[in-house]
Amino acid sequence: MNAITKACAVLTLALALASPGIADGRDQVEQWREDIQFYHSALQDGHINLYHSVSEQRFSAELERLMDRLPVLTEDEIVVEMMRITRLINDGHTQFPIMSGPHRHYPLRFFMIDDSVYVRSASDTLERYLGARVVSIDGVPIAAVLARIEPIVQPAENKYGLMHSLAFHLTVDNMLFGAGVTQAYGSAEFVFETSDSTLSTEIVTSLPMSEYLAKTTNWIEQHTPFPEADLVLNDDLWITADPQTRTAYFHFAAYPAFEDMLRFGPLVGAYLAENNVRNIIIDLRENGGGDFYVGLALSSPILMTDSVDWRNGVYILTGRTTFSAAMSNAAQFRQILNARLIGEPTGANPVSYSEVGQFSLPNSGRQVIYSKRLYRFQAENTPGIQPDVFIQPTVDQFRTGEDPVLNWVMTDIRSRQD
């Protein structure tokens, strides 16, 4: 951030801080000091084991150092520093979410393959960059951008969860500005490389969250053997079947209320029986978590289906977004459904701190979440639950919308029919 831009940002900090709970006329530095002290005390009181990865001495010193620097930092820089310090706690459910305060997003969604970043979704004006590789942001090479924000983004329990968090936070205007990647708040220069190696430069303007969600609706077209929902609870949980292979596919991207799942369960059992289902695919790749007891309730009608090939016919699809309760269910389904896990490792670790509590900072009003429990879903802790068959899309597969994970599963099912 250059000196002029930073000076302007510091001058406008008072306006930026004029959100509920912070505009009471007191010195803004003192208000943030109170918030940081409250943050430290509340975490010590609430977290099950706050210093399991970082020493109390270092954690306290980092907070003291931040408080000393408050007079020269913008609000975005303060938030980024709070995120960095929170990352030191090193569990995915303890977070200082940038989303709990004002935030804007560039109208793009990204996906990482190895160390490169590709456009997965875009607004109408940027649709031509679907599948393109991001080369730089405001003149900073993408490798340097990732290195700068890697210690900040959360959650990030392992390599695959980190890739998911990096891809998401690359859209957040406030974070890129606060981390010193972009030179101005509100717009940035993106350089893209399309599949034919053409470089293009675009000045991209950020949007409020509501507009971001409404406008990033252009996606790379996906080619899947299960495009149509049949038995539907909602957009995030539905089932369809392939009669030829007697395969039921569960799209399970989010958790419903427990009561809704209990009502849905008998319909699932009847559907599986009606279609004489032999193979089950449960897709948890986009499921960021919820209540794992809800997932266990879904497993009950599945377990009652005698037509299933209980030796080889159950598959759980996992990936970098499979987090929290979805990670828990992946481990449980491997056990109780004798399932094979196919895809990437989960974004959450099988031995991890979980079950969030939360509190709000008294002046800024920003929310903080923290872990209250420790779960062990494996005897050995690994960086994510490791799949039985590891599959990650190539760049070409990503750009053409091919689903190599589902393709592998369907090939395996057909091979057992021959």
List pLDDT tens digits, range 128-170: 999 999 999 999 999 999 999 999 999 999 999 999 999 999 9
Residue 119, pLDDT > 90, answer yes
Q: What is the per-residue pLDDT for 26?
A: 54
Q: What is the per-residue pLDDT for 14?
A: 33
Question: Pairing relation of β-strands 389-390 and 237-242?
Answer: unpaired
Percent of the chain with pLDDT over 70: 94
Distances (CA, A) of 288 to 7, 45, 212, 320, 347: 39, 27, 20, 9, 9
Tokens of 211: 């507009």
Q: What is the per-residue pLDDT for 254?
A: 98
Q: Give yes or no for a contact between 159 and 153, defined as CB atoms under 8 angstroms apart.
A: no
One-letter identity of residue 339:
A
Average pLDDT value for residue range 177-182: 96
Residue 265, pLDDT > 50, answer yes
All CATH 3.90.226.10 domain ranges of the chain, comma separated, are: 231-348+388-417
Average pLDDT value for residue range 49-57: 97
CATH number attached to the domain at 104-219: 2.30.42.10
Question: Pairing relation of β-strands 314-318 and 218-219?
Answer: unpaired
Q: What is the per-residue pLDDT for 7?
A: 35
Task: For residue 187, give the 3-state DSSP assignment.
Answer: strand
- Report the distance separating Cα 175 and Cα 171, nearest Å: 9
All CATH 2.30.42.10 domain ranges of the chain, comma separated, are: 104-219
- Report the distance separating Cα 53 and Cα 379, nearest Å: 20
3-state helix, strand, coil in the chain (%, to 5): 40, 25, 40
- Binning pLDDT at 50, 70 and 90, where does residue 227 land? confident
pTM of the model: 0.91
Residue 244, pLDDT > 50, answer yes
Residue 97, pLDDT > 50, answer yes
For the segment(s) 231-348+388-417, the CATH number from 2.60.40.10, 3.90.226.10, 3.40.640.10, 2.40.30.10 is 3.90.226.10
pLDDT digits (tens, 9 = 90+) for 346-399: 999 999 999 999 999 999 999 999 999 999 999 999 999 999 999 999 999 999
Residue in 135, 136, 105 with CA at minimum distance from that of residue 121: 105
